[in-house]
Amino acid sequence: MSTLLHRRNTVRNVNELVASAPTISSQLTNDHRASLSARFRAVNTSTHRRLDAWMVEQAGKPYDPFHWTPQIARRVLGTSALRRINTRNDLSISQAVRDELADHLLRSTAGYTQSGSLSYWLSGLSHASLGLVCAEAVTWATTAYEVLQGIERPWQLAQSDAYYDVSAARTSLRGRRDIVIKNDDQRVVLRLRAGSPGKSSGPGLRCDLTIDALASPTGTAASRFIGVWPDAGVCLSVDGTMADLRAGARDLVRTAVVQQRGQMLKAA
């Protein structure tokens, strides 16, 4: 049975969700990994497959060709700006974002970027477009900072999203994570999202929980995975139970099946 909890996004509720996280987390073993790999191998694909929570929430709808936008770039720039603030308390959020933008542009000027990278994209924008990117990043960083300031337990910004390559299945999984909180010996993960949660946000959160556990060298799941939608004033959470881990894995495999059927229909 799923442990999905729905709460208002208040400082008190977020801290209660963190404090009440289970003291025991489930662990994915090599047998679990092998079983998942076998299921993905059974779903044939002609190309390398990449899956994440967004694709699960969209019922297998394929991505459009990737291209940078201010909305996509804001999370990368905003999070990097927050890391600057953690090491330099004299920086404001807007100054930290501008410094981050300047570093990317300097990297491009020095020739240390590749086509398609964030730095390369930023270097081709007009001043007006750079201003829009800066504004989006400041908004993201400010929202995240407000959430961070309310957390009572030790936290750190996630170094990266969770990535897991499914063995011999031509499948890569990406799980979103933004903040890691140390709750005694347990680990609680927060994921920030814009907009408002939909009916499939719970399954998406379970997928992020599952991918995060797969990416862990020990296979240990976060004791609780919390999704926060500041714009909507809502937060959802799932626990690191074996039931939720299995549900997340099933949804990922089901999404791969939907994609395969779509490819077959196109081929026909």
pLDDT per residue as tens digits for the range 41-62: 999 888 889 999 999 998 877 6
pLDDT at 266 over 70: no
What pTM, to 2 d.p., does this model score? 0.92
Give residue 249's Cα distance to chain centre.
16
Q: For residue 222, report the phi and psi dihedrals to the nearest 5 degrees.
A: -60, 140
Which residues contact residue 191 at a Cβ distance below 8 angstroms, ignoring those fewer than 6 apart?
176, 177, 178, 205, 208, 225, 226, 227, 228
Q: If pLDDT is split at 50, 70 and 90, which confidence band does 193 have?
A: very high
Top-confidence residue, 9 or 1? 9
Q: What is the pLDDT of residue 262?
A: 72
Q: In this structure, what DSSP letter does residue 198 have?
A: -
Residue closest to 178 by CA, chosen among 211, 144, 206 = 144
Q: In this structure, what DSSP letter does residue 37 have?
A: H
Q: What is the pLDDT of residue 17?
A: 94
Q: What is the pLDDT of residue 112?
A: 82
Q: What is the pLDDT of residue 59?
A: 82
Q: If pLDDT is split at 50, 70 and 90, which confidence band does 204 have?
A: very high
Q: Distance (Å, rounded) from C-alpha 227 to C-alpha 131?
A: 29
CA 240, 59, 236 angle in degrees (round to 5)?
35
Q: What is the rounded average pLDDT of the residues 20-40? A: 94
CB 267 within 8 A of CB 54: no
Both tokens of 228, joined, read: 């926060």
pLDDT at 25 over 70: yes
Which alpha helices (H) appear in the chain, and where do they start and end? Answer: 11-19, 30-41, 53-57, 70-87, 93-109, 118-123, 127-150, 201-215, 242-267
Residue closest to 88 by CA, chosen among 76, 101, 100, 77 = 100
Q: If pLDDT is split at 50, 70 and 90, which confidence band does 167 have?
A: confident
Which residues contact residue 28 at a Cβ distance below 8 angstroms, ignoring those fewer than 6 apart?
213, 214, 219, 220, 221, 245
Q: Distance (Å, rounded) from C-alpha 3 to C-alpha 211?
A: 17
On average, the pLDDT of the chain sits at 91
Q: What is the pLDDT of residue 265?
A: 65
Q: Distance (Å, rounded) from C-alpha 229 to C-alpha 70?
A: 19
Give residue 217's Cα distance to chain centre.
18
